[in-house]
Structure 1
Amino acid sequence: MFSAIKRFLIGRPLKSTELGEQKLNKTKALAILSSDALSSVAYGPEQILIVLVTLGTAAFWYSLPIAVGVLILLTALIFSYRQIIFAYPHGGGAYVVSKNNLGTNAGLVAGGSLLVDYILTVAVSVSAGTDAITSAFPSLHAHTVGIAIIFVIFLTILNLRGVTESASILAYPVYLFVLALFILIAVGLYKVATGAVPPDLHAPIGTPIAGVSLFILLRAFASGSSALTGVEAISNAIPNFKDPAPKNAAKTLLMMGGLLALLFTGIVYLAYYYAIVPNAEETVVSQIADKTFGRGFMYFFIQGTTALILVLAANTGYSAFPLLAVNLAKDKFIPRMFLIRGDRLGYSNGIIILGLAAIILIVAFQAQTEHLIPLYAVGVFLPFTLSQSGMMVKWLKEKPEGWVPKFIINTTGALISLIVTLMFFLTKFQQVWSILIFLPIIIFLFHRIRKHYDAVGEQLRIAAEQPHVPIEGNVIIVPVAGITQVVENSLNYAKSLSADQIIAVYVGFEREEEKAFEEKWKKWQPDVRLVTLYSHYRSIIQPLTKFVDTVEHKASQHNYRVTVIIPQFIPKRSWENILHNQSSLLIRSFLLYRRNVIVSTVPYHLKK
């Protein structure tokens, strides 16, 4: 039943040899890995205006030089991450660059920040898309959390089906959004050029503004830079590209940067020329579309594709999180389960964990995650700063041919990213202070996990000088609950082993039961020693484990091992297990943590 449902939801298992078929071409990769960055066009320009409106609408002309600053940062990031792609073609992005050039802890800060950021990407994007839907249909507002969770489950299942399949489906909405915005910008610019939009709506460039300060401008720049979240995703996901993977990833990164620059610049310019004032009831993109097309088909087409891209922006997290987790797991900083490929050759454990974490966030914040956006942005710009700094160190150490221009690009990117990060801390400390707590905790956990794996490896390693203590004999203990075929099956197995002694152990709750069982046992299995234990508190585990410990202590003095063989019957139908006491599972769970005790289960399968 479970297997049939699984096959229906995620499809047939794929052979390992089919891995090449699951790689992405540039067209699909652009859609699946750029959705987060491109979707930020829907709110990045608005974040600039929200800061500038405190100075009055006349200050909106500052959005143009601020947009130029954002484009300079975008250019530095694109060229820097392009260099990272060729320098580190196996992926890992900011984590690998920071770890290799700035040290392990710097790498863990970058990796931990991005892991949390990808969870926030899913939660924030899905919640924002849900808000767009509930705004259009107010009757659904009471079901916001449920709708958001359904979207997360849908995206999780879609990604479990494989990278190629999810990219094939998600490419259409992403390209429709790009098309819709290009049409909006083109028609808007045409109206501006032909004089259809009155030029006196906005204040001229250079209008003096009272109260303007460098601090406010930097704050607006930092807020507008939230449009650059997701730029690093391609450098993390290089293994998902078809060969030659680095070249295809680099071309995709340039295409994404070009699209993002054009869309961001166009929206900022139209918002300035139309004198759009941000408000809580209607987004900036919605106001521009309304003024350009009116409330007709094109308006609803733009709004519909915007809502879709906001939801699908979460898919960037699904693409990048598992691959970043793989790099951290290879270095033993997170559980090794993140290295395992699922039935469809994706890193399914990473996909499932990401989906569950996002759902927890959505429920915890009731899908109202707007105040997490600054934390979300800091989670990106901190790794941006570290990765740029790491590349600076790399060029200074290696000094390959033509390294100076690369060093200048990385230095520019590092300085601007650092300024943006500091501005977020200075201006929105109440919303981002938690990063100062959870990042040290995450890094501590990373080191504890690594310490555990190192300790396990050290203990499992076979050393030449390690003394070998031979096992001289074996004592077998068989817990019995009655005289049944299940017990007989286990005793027959025990007798087939070369054991020095076989002891059957019966735990009784009544003295009369003990005596009656002993009499029956003598007639049934006279050659097997029976030990009966009386339980004052009707517990099987306590007296049995105490007896095993006693036998093990005596056996260890003679280099003997104790083996506990647990009889267990298996019902024909799995659901029938709930009708029976799971004593065998409890006994096994307790005994597995006993040193020098071997635990073995002998199943007896029922036929009806």
Structure 2
Amino acid sequence: MYSIKRLLIGRPLKSTALGEQKLNKTKALAILSSDALSSVAYGPEQILIVLVAVGVTAFWYSVPIAIGVLVLLTALILSYRQIIYAYPHGGGAYVVSKENLGVWPGLISGGSLLVDYVLTVAVSVSAGTDAITSAFPSLHEHTVLIAIAFVLFTTVLNLRGVTESASILAYPVYLFVLALFILIGVGIYDIATGAVPPDLHASIGTPVAGISLFLLLKAFASGSSALTGVEAISNAILNFKSPAPANASRTLLMMGALLAVLFSGIVFLAYYYGISPRTEVTVVSQIAEQTFGRHFMYFFIQGTTALILILAANTGYSAFPLLAVNLANDKFIPRIFTVRGDRLGYSNGIITLGFLSIVLIVAFQGNTEHLIPLYAVGVFIPFTMSQTGMMVKWIRQKPKGWIFKLVVNSIGALISFTVTIMFFITKFEQVWSVIVFLPTIIYVFHRIKKHYEAVGKQLRLTTCEPAMPIEGNVFILPVAGITHVVETSINYAQSLSAQQIIAVYIPFEREDETAFEEKWNKFHPDVRLVTLHSPYRTIIQPLMKFIDTVERKANESNYQVTVIIPQFIPKKGWHNILHNQTSLMIRARLLYRKNVIVTTVPYHLKK
């Protein structure tokens, strides 16, 4: 297993190599922006899916809706840029909400983001698989298996370390950006030169029967799913090289600019080409096919789109472990999430994220359309909370230029809140689970915090009960026969200057009891033997009753009861299945006994 681990994730790194695992702006843009940039592949499509309900004539509304999405994007980019400088140690929406709105709003943001990063992986991989099956329809029936394989690949890649994964992922991300720039550029050129017939779409302003403000807001909320992943950089500031806040801020601005251009271009081409959403062929695939035909450039665009959609999951792998560290440091989730692995990454967070993502993919059968609403709600709740938190911060502190900052955050909070409400109203059957799992997660956070506080209080020397003085020891030694392992255990107990050693033998037959007592008197007459006949052929019950009896008497005299468990260790691991594991069962039962110490004396076999 060790050899397999080394092959998959590489040799361990020293703690002093942590600085080498920091990202420059070029790699950070690839690894932390892939989620936001990849959403260009399905964000515009979500707008059209809503508008198609009233007919293709309504597709011209996608242009003003896209402008609204860009306004929200601008507000979010400016806001998260402020968050980066105000909270340079990372944490994003969780830290902002906790410090400005209180612990409970902070936990709502933190819980939403944790779930959202799981959905990031599930949605990205599912969408990438859709792109592959669009180009190769024969693979459509294997969607779930393909998606799971990609999750496992990305998990292993991230376990190898941030720098190594970023070095590999940078190429497909920048190839995707290049591919879409070429697609948008050629598409606009074709339109400008008249190669695309103007009658494929309805003119902007054409009256549409059945259109309503509610439907437009629904389309706007769906299109806003293209903004998921914008917050990732503010959560992962610690991954940047020094000066981290400045590098993170520049990366955020570059991501916002690229996202705006790519999103606008795809929306415009989809409108001008008159593209309608189809179940098994994505909008980007249709645009590429109409622009280039099913030739090299089409497959290049589909290939890079599939790659970035799959590797966009890496944003979740970068941000989830760091958010988990913040929550674990505040004692809201298990402390194991603060431990760095062999390659200096937070491997427990990475493995947990991969496992939960696979569960989601299997549960939803890799259906991107069903996952996206849940995904978008999970990120717009923290969007709203963080914007509101920053509003409170500026009102309280009133720093220089705070009026402009307050206006930016107010616009962002209002739009984000509107989008969140629209998702709950229009897609309730797909997002209702948020109402169930969010309170559940917060309750779990609360219980974990209470547990850590209780443990700390009980272990603290200034508050815990004084330890009772120990006058002596009583050793109880369960034995199944007269063997080397029993002899070794007796020698160990005697080396501790034990006042009393009691060997306990539990026979199922009376004849065995008499025979064993005779053998014991010859083997170790100086060690007291107690035999407990067990007519029901159980070892655990009579042993526990005996230990209880000895414990009660020992406590009266301030004696400590120690149970010594002899155990032989086979040379090969698989040999264990050939033997009864009675010692394991005894240890499991005694582990929660308050006043009993359990000691295992191993005897290693040579053959």
Tell me the TM-score normalised to structure 2 length: 0.98
* Aligned residue in 2 for 1:459: 458
**Contact preservation (8 Å) 2:190, 2:196:** yes
The answer to whether structure 1 residue 282 and structure 2 residue 281 are counterparts is yes
* Aligned residue in 1 for 2:145: 146
- Amino acid paired to 2:83: I
* Aligned residue in 2 for 1:583: 582
Residues 1:204 and 1:365: Cα distance change in structure 2 (over 3 Å)? closer
Q: Pairwise mapping of residues 6-45 of structure 1 onto structure 2 (< 5 A)? A: 6-45=5-44
> What is the alpha-carbon root mean square deviation over aligned residues?
1.3
Q: Pairwise mapping of residues 61-80 of structure 1 onto structure 2 (< 5 A)? A: 61-80=60-79
Matched residue SS, 1:204: coil
**Alpha-carbon distance between aligned partners in 1 of 2:111 and 2:17, rounded to the nearest angstrom:** 32
Alpha-carbon deviations, 1:499-543, whole Å to 9, x = none?
221111111111111111110000110100011111122221111
Q: Which moved more, 1:172-181 or 1:143-152?
A: 143-152
Q: Pairwise mapping of residues 39-438 of structure 1 onto structure 2 (< 5 A)? A: 39-438=38-437
**Alpha-carbon distance between aligned partners in 1 of 2:270 and 2:326, rounded to the nearest angstrom:** 42
**Alpha-carbon distance between aligned partners in 2 of 1:464 and 1:319, rounded to the nearest angstrom:** 40
Residues 1:136 and 1:290: Cα distance change in structure 2 (over 3 Å)? closer
- Amino acid paired to 1:478: L
Matched residue SS, 1:270: helix
The answer to whether structure 1 residue 539 and structure 2 residue 530 are counterparts is no
Matched residue SS, 2:462: coil
Q: Which moved more, 1:537-546 or 1:526-535?
A: 537-546
**Contact preservation (8 Å) 1:34, 1:316:** yes
**Contact preservation (8 Å) 1:481, 1:507:** yes
Matched residue SS, 1:534: coil
**Alpha-carbon distance between aligned partners in 2 of 1:115 and 1:459, rounded to the nearest angstrom:** 30
Q: Which moved more, 1:428-437 or 1:270-279?
A: 270-279
Q: Which moved more, 1:381-390 or 1:577-586?
A: 577-586
**Alpha-carbon distance between aligned partners in 1 of 2:167 and 2:356, rounded to the nearest angstrom:** 25
**Contact preservation (8 Å) 1:118, 1:321:** yes
Matched residue SS, 2:61: helix
CA drift at 1:397: 0.9
Matched residue SS, 1:508: coil
**Alpha-carbon distance between aligned partners in 2 of 1:3 and 1:328, rounded to the nearest angstrom:** 31
CA drift at 1:370: 2.5
CA drift at 1:83: 0.8
**Alpha-carbon distance between aligned partners in 2 of 1:602 and 1:391, rounded to the nearest angstrom:** 59
**Contact preservation (8 Å) 1:362, 1:369:** no
**Contact preservation (8 Å) 2:134, 2:281:** no
**Contact preservation (8 Å) 1:322, 1:338:** yes
* Aligned residue in 2 for 1:501: 500
* Aligned residue in 2 for 1:473: 472
Q: Which moved more, 1:281-290 or 1:240-249?
A: 281-290
CA drift at 1:199: 2.7
CA drift at 1:203: 2.2
Matched residue SS, 1:538: coil
CA drift at 1:564: 0.7
**Alpha-carbon distance between aligned partners in 1 of 2:184 and 2:135, rounded to the nearest angstrom:** 23
- Amino acid paired to 2:60: W
CA drift at 1:208: 2.5
**Alpha-carbon distance between aligned partners in 2 of 1:136 and 1:61, rounded to the nearest angstrom:** 27
CA drift at 1:206: 2.0
Q: Which moved more, 1:455-464 or 1:484-493?
A: 455-464
* Aligned residue in 2 for 1:559: 558
CA drift at 1:369: 4.5
- Amino acid paired to 1:259: L
CA drift at 1:465: 8.7
**Alpha-carbon distance between aligned partners in 1 of 2:301 and 2:294, rounded to the nearest angstrom:** 11
- Amino acid paired to 1:72: V
**Alpha-carbon distance between aligned partners in 2 of 1:231 and 1:373, rounded to the nearest angstrom:** 15
**Alpha-carbon distance between aligned partners in 1 of 2:533 and 2:74, rounded to the nearest angstrom:** 78
**Alpha-carbon distance between aligned partners in 2 of 1:342 and 1:454, rounded to the nearest angstrom:** 26
Q: Pairwise mapping of residues 501-540 of structure 1 onto structure 2 (< 5 A)? A: 501-540=500-539
**Contact preservation (8 Å) 1:566, 1:600:** yes
**Aligned residues between the structures:** 607
- Amino acid paired to 1:227: A
CA drift at 1:209: 2.4
Tell me the TM-score normalised to structure 1 length: 0.98
**Alpha-carbon distance between aligned partners in 2 of 1:444 and 1:132, rounded to the nearest angstrom:** 38
Alpha-carbon deviations, 1:11-53, whole Å to 9, x = none?
0011110111111111111111111111110111111122222
Matched residue SS, 2:473: strand
- Amino acid paired to 2:567: Q
Matched residue SS, 1:564: strand
- Amino acid paired to 1:487: V
Matched residue SS, 2:214: helix
**Alpha-carbon distance between aligned partners in 1 of 2:194 and 2:239, rounded to the nearest angstrom:** 48
Alpha-carbon deviations, 1:263-309, whole Å to 9, x = none?
00111111122222222242221121122112211111111111111
CA drift at 1:464: 7.0
Q: Which moved more, 1:365-374 or 1:255-264?
A: 365-374
- Amino acid paired to 1:167: A
**Alpha-carbon distance between aligned partners in 2 of 1:135 and 1:293, rounded to the nearest angstrom:** 16
Alpha-carbon deviations, 1:118-146, whole Å to 9, x = none?
11111222122223323433443333222
Q: Which moved more, 1:181-190 or 1:465-474?
A: 465-474
Matched residue SS, 2:482: coil
**Alpha-carbon distance between aligned partners in 2 of 1:167 and 1:91, rounded to the nearest angstrom:** 19
- Amino acid paired to 1:455: A
Q: Which moved more, 1:461-470 or 1:176-185?
A: 461-470
CA drift at 1:440: 0.7
* Aligned residue in 2 for 1:490: 489
Alpha-carbon deviations, 1:57-99, whole Å to 9, x = none?
2222221111111001001101111111111111111111111
**Alpha-carbon distance between aligned partners in 2 of 1:54 and 1:146, rounded to the nearest angstrom:** 32
CA drift at 1:217: 1.2
Q: Which moved more, 1:549-558 or 1:204-213?
A: 204-213
Residues 1:134 and 1:389: Cα distance change in structure 2 (over 3 Å)? same
CA drift at 1:329: 0.6
CA drift at 1:466: 4.7
Matched residue SS, 2:532: strand
Unaligned runs of 5+ residues in structure 2 are none
- Amino acid paired to 2:282: T
**Alpha-carbon distance between aligned partners in 2 of 1:251 and 1:429, rounded to the nearest angstrom:** 37
**Alpha-carbon distance between aligned partners in 2 of 1:342 and 1:468, rounded to the nearest angstrom:** 37
**Alpha-carbon distance between aligned partners in 2 of 1:472 and 1:281, rounded to the nearest angstrom:** 78
CA drift at 1:471: 1.2
CA drift at 1:204: 2.1
- Amino acid paired to 2:162: V
**Contact preservation (8 Å) 1:277, 1:284:** yes
Matched residue SS, 1:463: coil
**Alpha-carbon distance between aligned partners in 2 of 1:404 and 1:135, rounded to the nearest angstrom:** 49
